[in-house]
Structure 1
Amino acid sequence: MAFVLAFTRANAQTADVCKGSLGDPVVNETFGAGSNFGGALPYTSMFYVSSFCPDDGSYTIANSTADPNLGGSCHTSWHTVTHDHTGDPNGYFMFINASFAKSVFYTQPINLQLCQKTTYEFSAYVLNLIKLSASNDQTIQPDIKFTIKAPDGTILKSSENIVPPTADPEWQKFSLFFTTPANVNSVIVELSNEAPGGNGNDLLLDDIQFRACGPVIQTGFSTITANQPQNQCVGDSRNYTLKAQVGDGYTDPSLQWQINKSDGNGWLDIAGQTTDTYNFTISDNTAKIYQYRLSAAEQSNIGSPDCRVSSSPLSVTVNAFPVVPDIPPVEGCEGGTLILTASGGVAFEWTGPAITVANKNQNPLIINAATLAAAGNYAVTVTNAAGCTATKNTTVTVDARPVITVPSAVYTICKGANTNINVSSPTGISYQWAPTTGLNDPTSPTPTASPADTTIYTVIVTTDKGCIDSAKVTVNVLPPPVANAGTPRPIFEGQSITLNGTAQSANVYSWTPTTGLSDPTILNPIANPTDDITYTLHASSTYNCGVAESSVFVRVFKKIVIPNSFSPNGDGTNDFWDIEALITYPQSLLTVFNRYGQAVYKSIGYAKPWRGTYNGIPLPTGTYYYIIDLKNGAPKLSGWVLLVK
C-alpha cells in the first residue's frame, strides 16, 4: 500500500517549476566527466562503491550503467544508460541503489548572501533505472523529496516527486521554487529518498541546480520576436539594435545588458547599458561568437549576479571566410567531359568560357562534349554556411581531337580479292582498326583488307595528347554472280512474253540469241519468237567477279484455224475437214458429236484430217459439234462444223 499512496500523492501535486526566466546557477552540480569511475562525493550519507552494481544504500559516479564484462546493466530490469543528461558519453552522473530506509542522496549548503524577495528554483534531472516492462504494482518507484532549509534546519519549502518508469531511458526534470524570506540570506538544499528500498527504487541523478527565477524576459534583434542568430563575415562592420521586454514580477525592476565574447571571461556587464534597448556595432577581423543577454533584478539586488535572471542569449557570429583548396588545372580532349571540383563551402558559383545559367552553380562542375572554346580561365566563388565567400581560379585546356581524312568510304572487291583501305590525319600518332579480321596490319593507316564478307571497319586515331576520333570504311565483298533465266514459258504464235530473269551480284546482262527480244541487255526483255526457242541469260559485273549463265525454253504454239464447213463428195475440193496447225499439237484430243450428242469421231493429234465418216461409213449432211482439248493447259475449243454433200 505504501507504493499506491505515494503514487497517488505524486499524481495529485502540481509541477513546481519556474515559469519565468532563470539566472545563472548558484549551485551547478554536473558530477564532472571522465572514465569510469568518478570519485566519492562529500555531500551524501550514502556508501560509495566503484562498481556498476551498487548494492542497496550505495552509489557510484559513472558515465554509463553498462558493465563491459556483461555487455549491459548488471540487472536485466535496469535500463542501459550510456550518457549523462546532456548526451555527453563521458559525462558523469550519480548512480544510486536506494537504501531500505529513507535517506539523503545529496545535501549542499548555500552560504552565499542570497537576495531578499527573490525567487529561486531548485532542480535536478532524474532517471528511473527500472524499465517500464519490468515494473508492476510491487515495484517501488523512486520518490525524490526536494527540500530547502534555513541554516538552523527549519524547512522553508519541500516537495516530493514520484519518478515514473519509462519504456526507454528518459531523463526527467523535477524542481521546486521558493521566495527568500526577509530574514534568510543562506539556505541548505537537499535531495532525499522517501521510498523504501528493496524491489526497485534505483535511479540516476544529474545536473542539480539552484538559481534565481524571475519574470519572463524576451529579447530580439530590433523586435523581441526576431531572435534568430545573426551572421557576418570577418572584416565586415554591422550595426545592431537589441530590444527587450521584461514581464511582470518585480516591484522596482532594474536592467543590465551583458556580453559574452567567448574569450573565457564569461558574461560581463556592458557599462551604461541599462535600458530595454541596446545599439552597438561589430567590426572584427577575427572569427568569433558574440552573445548578448539582458539581466534583470529588483533595483536593490541588481548588483548581485546570484539575484539576477537573464534572457536567452542572442548571438552574432563573426565567421571566417571559407578555406578553399587550390583547384588543379584541368586538361581534356575536344568532345570529352571536363570536371572541376571545388570544396570548402556549401554553395558555389563558377565563371568561365563554358559556364551557362544551367551549370554555373554545379559542384563538381561538369562540362560535357567540350569544345575548343571551353578552354580558358575559370573562377569559383565559394560561400560557407554563414554566407562568407572566397574565390579560387584555375585553368582549363582543351586539346583538339584528330582531323581524319577518308579518301573513300566504300570499297568493292570480289570474294577472295583484296584492296588497300586508307585514312590519314596530320595530328594522329596511332591508328587502330576494328574488327581486325581480314586486315594485314590493323595499326596501319593504309592496311590491306581481304575480308570474306562485307565488313564495316572503324579506325580510332589518337593524338600525342591522347585525344581520339574515329572514322568508318566499308569493304563490300561481292560473291560470284548468280543467274536464273526463269521457268519454261509457253506462248501462242503471235503472242509476246516478258522473260523472268533474275541475278545476284551482277550488274551486266545479255541474252542469246537475240531473236525476238526487245532488249537483250536487260534482265526482263519482252520476247516475241515465231518458233520454239531457248534463250540463255549471261550475268556478270563491272567488278569482273565471273560470268553466270542460265537458260529458259519458250514453246511457241502455232495458231489453229478451224473451218466451219467441208464437203466430202469426192470432187477433190474441200473433201477433208482441214484444221490448220492442229497437227502441231500431237497430244491434242479432237471429239466430234452428232446432234444427238453421240461421238462420231475422235482423234489424238491430227495426222489425218476427218473425212466425215463414222466407222468408215459416210455421215449424212448436217451440223456436227466438236471439242478440241490441246492438252497444254489452254482453254478447250468448241463449236460446230457443217458437213455438206
Structure 2
Amino acid sequence: VSNGTNANITGLPAGLTGVFNVDVFVISGTPTASGTFNYTITITGGCAPATATGSITVNPNAAISLSSATNTGQQSICVNSSIVNITYAATNATSVTVAGLPNGVTGNYSNGIFTIKGLPSATGTFNYTVTATSNCASAVMNGNITVNELPVATITSSLGTTISKGDISVLTATGGSSYLWTGTDIQGSNSNASIEVRPRQTTTYTVKVTNISGCTTEKSITINVNEDLKLIPNNIITPNGDGKNDFWVIKNIDYYPNNKVSVFDRAGRKVYGSSSYKNDWDGTYAGAPLAEAAYFYVIDMGNGYGLIRGTINIIRDKR
C-alpha cells in the first residue's frame, strides 16, 4: 500500500482478519464458514481514498453422521445371518469408503447416503471405519460388528438308530446351552439335552440347539423301528404296597389297545379279566386278595395278532 496511512477491509469470512502495517496489508486466519466471499480493502490517508477488491472461496469440510438406529453401529449377530442395514448421511463429500468389514458385508455410497449391508461369512469382532472425503478435510466414523459362531450340534442314541418297537432310547444332544426337541412319542420334557423316546414307527427327531451367543442350529436323527414288538409280561407280583411289583405289568401292552387279558387259578377258575388292560391288576378277585400261588394267564393281543400264555406268581409278605 503506497500513499496511504490507514486501511480497512470488509467482506471477509468469519475467522479471517486484515491488518495494515508499514505499507503492507495482511489477510490471515482460519475461515470457519464456507462459501465465496468478495472483500474490499479501502485505503485512506492519501490525496484520495483508494480501494482494492478480491475474492476468497472457502470449500466445506466433509461431514458424516449415523442415520440408521443408534444401535445399528454396534451389532452382534450370528454368522451367515444378514446384519441390520447401517446407514450414514454424508455431506460435502466427494466419496465415502469403508474399511474393516467382515467378508460378505459391503458398503455403497449413493445420493448422500452410505449403506452397509450383507451376510457375514466369517466370525470374529470387526472394527470398521467409514471415511467421507472432500476437497478439504475428511470425516470419519467408527463402528463394530461381532459375528458369532453357530453351535456345532451332535446327537447320539443310546440304542443306536435301529430299535425294536416298544424300546425306549435316550437321545442326547451336545453343542449348546439350551435345547428344544420335536418329534412324536417323547417321554417327558422336550427341552433337556437328553430325552427318552419310545417311537411306535420310524421317526425323525430334530433338536434346535442354541449357544450362549443366541445362535441356533438344528440337527436331526432318524430312529428306525423294527416291527418285532414283543409283549413281556412280568412273571411275579408282590402286592404289599411298597411300590415295587404291586401290579402285574405287561410291557408294551399299550401298543395293543384291543387286547383282552384273562387270569385263571389251578382249578381253571377265571379270577381276573380285562379288555384294554392298563397294567393295573393287583392280584385280587372280587376285591379280595388272592392266595399266594401260581396262576395262568392268556393274553389276546387283538386284531388277529395272536395269543400269549404263561404263568404269573403272586407272592405276599408274610410279616
The TM-score, its normalising length taken from structure 1, stands at: 0.25
Rg larger for: 1
- Report which structure shows greater RCO (CA 8 Å, sep ≥6): 2
Higher strand share: 2
